[in-house]
Structure 1
């Protein structure tokens, strides 16, 4: 299964007018029977939920008080995630005659009309509190607390990550809930701003929308054409025109083929870097012993010590741990046996939690050698797996046939892909035997039947740091950014990022907003400067249409300055 949990708001989603939708509750029961988790995320107090539900045991976890409290119905245990709003604030509200004033374990509630009194008291008392709206109520919430952060804590306790979660919301305080999920959904009656944030909107409102989403999850795991197509992907490289080419983060396998050397290792390390930037959990199986683990990875085993399967699984229990499992101390003929013991444990963990998100196997020919007598019988079903091999002919054909995309690396990537075509008995590829440019690779989309495409490999962080002076203070020439505006009037070209920030302060608001709302800034950073991380930060600002031109200028230029200050 792709999605293992559904997290949803209560009012306006699962309940209307204080009453839970019975059809929606029945749908959630069916969803749980598939093995998926159901998490309720609400701004209400835990005590208030008894009037809505006869029992909370339908939910694996309840995130209450706008993210301040976790409740586990099966254990009947609750955990506060913050200190309560100070008593001084409550006294100030009572002195102002605010009524009815309701206290939760951490949050204070009042009618929406009392929002002005809440804001005044926060300012007068010098408190660090958030004042937010939830339907007809206003809430005083401790700093850093919201539905999204509460959901993060619930997922951590469940051993899951945001990549396995679908979230469903309707109200103004559901933005953070939708942010903490791989697929964000809004019901038909949701606020327009929330619908803009969502990946898609259900046809039905409130409970009907819940039923509709559950049916799509149960029947199709949200893979039905037209329901939702993930826009984000893992970058493989950049095409001739600078366009980004990638693969889905879920559901495909990648083969990196070519001679051992710096180029192949660098490409795999770059792919790993992009996984970690997206907060996926990889597990590296190093059959050869030459994989260089990053500083933030944990190495299990070495040339003298064989890791235990229990060690690997214990390390993977924490979503933040990225293990490199070295099999260098095992003889090549013994490595398949170790992996046959490890694989069922990994598959079981993936079924429960969705992790590890990707397997990276360095030297896959040792696990599945082509000449092995039991290659057909022992070939596992792979998913979200990267295999690094030198000679594809040395790998069992049932494994090669599961690869959706192959990337040829090294001085002659076409020759490597031709060897692969011969190994799986595909039509020979008539291509030049060299990549023809520095850092160029060839990507063959086997499952789609597309001919190999020449790509420029994305730069790794170390290479980006070397390029900082050119992008920040050098002369990018024709690659610079030109402010043209709605009327096409050309302003001076920003020949580097420092000049971009200077010109950004000078162009008129209409020109600035024209480029901002068209996504031109993030597109330039991503497709021309090949800086995905900075492009994502700027793209998030481009979507905030409510920002005045002056504020968006400050945020975009601040993101650029902060990004490269960190890199330096």
Structure 2
């Protein structure tokens, strides 16, 4: 289920002249029977709504007074979301010959009284604003509108705006339509509302709402997916500088490339895009590389196997993302563990539409060609997934067949794409020759029948540098720290951040320094923990220099770090 809730305006949308026909009530009942919730969003006062509408109990929450008051019918609890204007304001309006209607927060009147209302606000020096609903003039504290009220209702219900359909007709509905993932205008809506809406139904008022509900319950508005242009995600830019976008829903990506080619860096960039747009994600992290994933809670470590119930509990809050660390799960048990996690997450998706994206790193450990086929029906259910692997040949064919986009990275993207095409029996169109730069990938949208195109996905290292610095002088914790152990494991010197690494690196014995240098431990730590791909690449070149001395290698690594990071004063001496 993508859309877990329907948010409706009242006057002009559900109702015509305050009356809601029985067939509209029946359609709303079908929505609740489908497992979806209903939210009423109205400018009316609660007592006025009760006077004309006897079916308020159909709704899980009612946002009334244009976003200033929240009411829960099941408990009859009313919550004021703003402070009402002072009494002297209404007294002054009456003195001006205006008879206002007074709610718990809202004060309303009718056109053409707005001129006198503005004069009164200025005269008294009040911080109030006016909202219009066709002929109605509504006075509220600043920052209060139907959109803010809907957000409060969604917070109470633990729902994401990305799983909401909103339908309205008038200018004061625009604020809550902008919050909704899919915005709908009924046939009688104002031109400005129709211009903004993703979908315009043909019928007016309640008949238009019935038309919408029929489509919602038929296919979850799947047929309208291409009309949601505002809800795409930016992938990057092509060589011409044009933006390349991907759908935000029910889209599957394979990121493939050899070890240390930047797959984790690329996936982390995509996670930042998701977090910034408010889409919830869940990362399956076999190697403990996503501790810095944005706005995420990590469950599990090398000593603790994550519990499925803990993952679901974290994801039950739409504001939280989850990283499921599998370091404590043995390699032989990871495929079965993934199946249990995926089943639980898909069940949550059926109920709430979340998490919006699932990311599976090192997928070849769990989705290999000999995977458990009983997992297939769950995998085929709708939902967006990012799968990451070193080689498509190491992934089950059924998994690869579900992919919409292949992002090939590394030195031989042609081979990676041809491996994928061979597995799914789909010839790869001609791949334009040329090396890939920092943060670039060959992107093959395999259902669009075009050639793979080079896409610059990740911003340059210099643009990321300011962001990276905040991780370089903090405490990375025991699990993410670098440890100088030496060739015989006699040492156990912990470096809790990059700057401490430099201090210790200057003082350890030559044998220990060379031991870690030849193993490639320094570049691996810079890549996986510090998250600095360019620093890792440059350090790897030093690690491969067979004739470099201990002193020269120490100095070279230090220069690389100093060039990219501002050091504390005690390290500059």
**TM-score, normalised relative to structure 2:** 0.76
Partner-residue secondary structure (3-state), 1:49: helix
Q: Give matches, 1:44-59, under 5 Å.
A: 44-59=44-59
Residue 138 of structure 1: how far off its partner (Å)? 1.7
Per the alignment, do residues 460 and 4 of structure 1 end up closer, same or farther by CA in structure 2, a change over 3 Å counting? farther
The one-character-per-residue Cα deviations of 1:417-461 (angstroms, maximum 9, x if unpaired) are 222223334336654675455543111222344432222224269
Residue 366 of structure 1: how far off its partner (Å)? 1.9
| Matching of residue 356 in structure 1 with residue 355 in structure 2 | yes
Question: Counterpart of 2:511?
Answer: none
Residue 225 of structure 1: how far off its partner (Å)? 6.2
| Matching of residue 41 in structure 1 with residue 41 in structure 2 | yes
Per the alignment, do residues 379 and 391 of structure 1 end up closer, same or farther by CA in structure 2, a change over 3 Å counting? farther
Partner-residue secondary structure (3-state), 2:264: helix
Residue 163 of structure 1: how far off its partner (Å)? 0.8
Residue 462 of structure 1: how far off its partner (Å)? 6.0
| Matching of residue 240 in structure 1 with residue 223 in structure 2 | no
Q: Partners of 1:157 and 1:417 in 2: how far apart? A: 46
| Matching of residue 179 in structure 1 with residue 178 in structure 2 | yes
Q: Give matches, 1:358-507, under 5 Å.
A: 358-372=357-371, 374=373, 380-381=379-380, 383-427=383-427, 431=431, 435-459=435-459, 463=463
Partner-residue secondary structure (3-state), 1:224: helix
Per the alignment, do residues 466 and 411 of structure 1 end up closer, same or farther by CA in structure 2, a change over 3 Å counting? farther
Per the alignment, do residues 21 and 72 of structure 1 end up closer, same or farther by CA in structure 2, a change over 3 Å counting? same
> Greater shift after overlay, 409-418 or 36-45?
409-418
Question: Counterpart of 2:151?
Answer: 152
Partner-residue secondary structure (3-state), 2:194: helix
Q: Partners of 2:185 and 2:163 in 1: how far apart? A: 17
Aligned residues: 466
Residue 172 of structure 1: how far off its partner (Å)? 1.9
Partner-residue secondary structure (3-state), 1:19: coil
Q: Partners of 1:192 and 1:125 in 2: how far apart? A: 35
The one-character-per-residue Cα deviations of 1:71-99 (angstroms, maximum 9, x if unpaired) are 12222222211222222212222333322
Question: Counterpart of 2:60?
Answer: 60
Q: Partners of 1:122 and 1:461 in 2: how far apart? A: 51
Residue 117 of structure 1: how far off its partner (Å)? 2.7
Residue 409 of structure 1: how far off its partner (Å)? 1.0
Partner-residue secondary structure (3-state), 1:84: coil
**TM-score, normalised relative to structure 1:** 0.77
Q: Partners of 1:18 and 1:225 in 2: how far apart? A: 30
Q: Partners of 2:39 and 2:49 in 1: how far apart? A: 14
Q: Give matches, 1:101-140, under 5 Å.
A: 101-140=100-139
| Matching of residue 98 in structure 1 with residue 59 in structure 2 | no
Q: Retained in 1: the 8 A contact 2:430–2:452? A: no
Per the alignment, do residues 315 and 464 of structure 1 end up closer, same or farther by CA in structure 2, a change over 3 Å counting? same
Q: Partners of 1:287 and 1:29 in 2: how far apart? A: 44
Partner-residue secondary structure (3-state), 2:227: coil
Q: Partners of 2:184 and 2:207 in 1: how far apart? A: 13
Q: Partners of 1:226 and 1:362 in 2: how far apart? A: 28
Per the alignment, do residues 244 and 321 of structure 1 end up closer, same or farther by CA in structure 2, a change over 3 Å counting? same
Question: Counterpart of 1:511?
Answer: none
Q: Partners of 1:294 and 1:189 in 2: how far apart? A: 45
Question: Counterpart of 2:503?
Answer: none
The one-character-per-residue Cα deviations of 1:3-23 (angstroms, maximum 9, x if unpaired) are 222212111111111212333
Higher Cα radius of gyration: 2
| Matching of residue 278 in structure 1 with residue 277 in structure 2 | yes
Question: Counterpart of 2:200?
Answer: 201
| Matching of residue 9 in structure 1 with residue 4 in structure 2 | no
The one-character-per-residue Cα deviations of 1:122-154 (angstroms, maximum 9, x if unpaired) are 112221111222233322212221000101111
Question: Counterpart of 1:25?
Answer: 25
Unaligned stretches of 5+ residues in structure 1: 468-568
Q: Retained in 1: the 8 A contact 2:5–2:38? A: yes
Q: Give matches, 1:537-556, under 5 Å.
A: none
Residue 336 of structure 1: how far off its partner (Å)? 2.1
Question: Counterpart of 2:325?
Answer: 326
Q: Partners of 1:38 and 1:461 in 2: how far apart? A: 46
Q: Partners of 2:186 and 2:429 in 1: how far apart? A: 48
Residue 379 of structure 1: how far off its partner (Å)? 6.3
Partner-residue secondary structure (3-state), 1:234: strand
Per the alignment, do residues 135 and 235 of structure 1 end up closer, same or farther by CA in structure 2, a change over 3 Å counting? closer
> Greater shift after overlay, 13-22 or 373-382?
373-382
Q: Partners of 2:166 and 2:349 in 1: how far apart? A: 20
Question: Counterpart of 2:300?
Answer: 301
Q: Retained in 2: the 8 A contact 1:43–1:65? A: yes
Q: Retained in 1: the 8 A contact 2:256–2:391? A: yes
Per the alignment, do residues 225 and 111 of structure 1 end up closer, same or farther by CA in structure 2, a change over 3 Å counting? closer
Q: Partners of 2:73 and 2:66 in 1: how far apart? A: 18
Question: Counterpart of 1:72?
Answer: 72
Computed over aligned residues only, the root mean square deviation of the Cα atoms, in angstroms, reads: 2.5
Q: Retained in 1: the 8 A contact 2:275–2:295? A: no
> Greater shift after overlay, 89-98 or 410-419?
89-98
> Greater shift after overlay, 299-308 or 225-234?
225-234
Unaligned stretches of 5+ residues in structure 2: 468-573
Question: Counterpart of 1:510?
Answer: none
Q: Give matches, 1:308-347, under 5 Å.
A: 308-347=307-346
Partner-residue secondary structure (3-state), 1:455: strand
Q: Retained in 2: the 8 A contact 1:222–1:228? A: no
Q: Retained in 2: the 8 A contact 1:412–1:434? A: no
Per the alignment, do residues 295 and 33 of structure 1 end up closer, same or farther by CA in structure 2, a change over 3 Å counting? closer
